[in-house]
Chains A and B, each alone.
Chain A
Amino acid sequence: TQLLEQSPQFLSIQEGENLTVYCNSSSVFSSLQWYRQEPGEGPVLLVTVVTGGEVKKLKRLTFQFGDARKDSSLHITAAQPGDTGLYLCAGEVNSGGYQKVTFGTGTKLQVIP
């Protein structure tokens, strides 16, 4: 069973601050995805990283995949209230002929205006 631990579990910061969310596992993944989920909605895909060491940027969000493809981080620069939500990492492996996606424990972010 692939387990993905996210830290911190909760984060409350002021608008304009920077933050980093970590996603760690002992398992190797073929790819890792980051999602954001708002209350009453399903998760929405932000990015997929595939190559060990890969860095992707999405406006103020920077995503990095660890060299060994076991961990990842999400860095947000100058956080805004619209960034508030539950951030989920998800690792993908080929499991018995199908692509199994396992979600992390989640990081709940609150950005205070």
Chain B
Amino acid sequence: ETGVTQSPTHLIKTRGQQVTLRCSSQSGHNTVSWYQQALGQGPQFIFQYYREEENGRGNFPPRFSGLQFPNYSSELNVNALELDDSALYLCASSTRSPDEKLFFGSGTQLSVL
């Protein structure tokens, strides 16, 4: 148990729809990072939030957006869903220190039909 919870666990959407995924960070952690993981591959960095602001972004289009709330929980929003967006979406919380340890949730499995 990492203390990081994600919801929902599974989600099925159709192409063109919008989706919101949620993440509650571990107590005491002020930074949340989101990753996209295709089956059998390593997670790809989407973006990171620190103190309610986007703090860094990977190679993902603007239709991937996020929020961080005062309690450090976070949302990932994806607009205009495409078939290739089907993946496991992982949230990781940390304390934004050097050699930071990432604590992952179990992820949200998104299927886009």
Interface residues of A (CB under 8 A from B): 1, 4, 6, 30-31, 33, 40-45, 48, 50, 86, 88, 90, 92, 95-106, 108
- CB atoms of B106 and A105 under 8 A apart: no
B73 at the interface (CB under 8 A from A): no
Question: Contact: A105 with B42, CB < 8 Å?
Answer: yes
* Cβ contacts A to B, 29 pairs, < 8 Å: A1-B59, A4-B42, A6-B42, A30-B98, A31-B98, A31-B99, A41-B107, A42-B4, A42-B92, A43-B102, A44-B2, A45-B101, A45-B102, A45-B103, A48-B101, A90-B42, A90-B102, A98-B48, A98-B96, A99-B97, A99-B98, A100-B48, A101-B45, A101-B102, A103-B35, A103-B45, A105-B41, A105-B42, A106-B40
Given A88-B43, A92-B99, A102-B45, also A42-B106 (CB < 8 A) = yes
Q: How large is the interface on B (under 10, 10 to 19, 20 to 34, 35 or more residues)?
A: 20 to 34
Residues of B contacting A44 in the complex (Cβ-Cβ under 8 angstroms): 2, 104
Binding site for A on B (CB under 8 A): 2, 4, 33, 35, 40-45, 48, 50, 55-56, 59, 90, 92, 96-107
Question: How far is it, in angstroms, between the C-alpha of A44 and the C-alpha of B90 when the chains are bound?
Answer: 12
Q: Give the nearest-CB partner of A88 in chain B.
A: B42
Interface SS of B by simple majority: loop
- CB < 8 Å neighbour of B45 from A48, A97, A100: A100
CB distance from B66 to the nearest CB of A (A): 14
A98 near B44 with CB under 8 A, answer no
Q: Is the CB of B43 within 8 A of A103?
A: yes
Shortest C-beta distance, B44 to chain A (Å), equals 7
The verdict on A106 contacting B41 (CB below 8 Å), with A45-B102, A96-B56, A99-B96 known, is yes
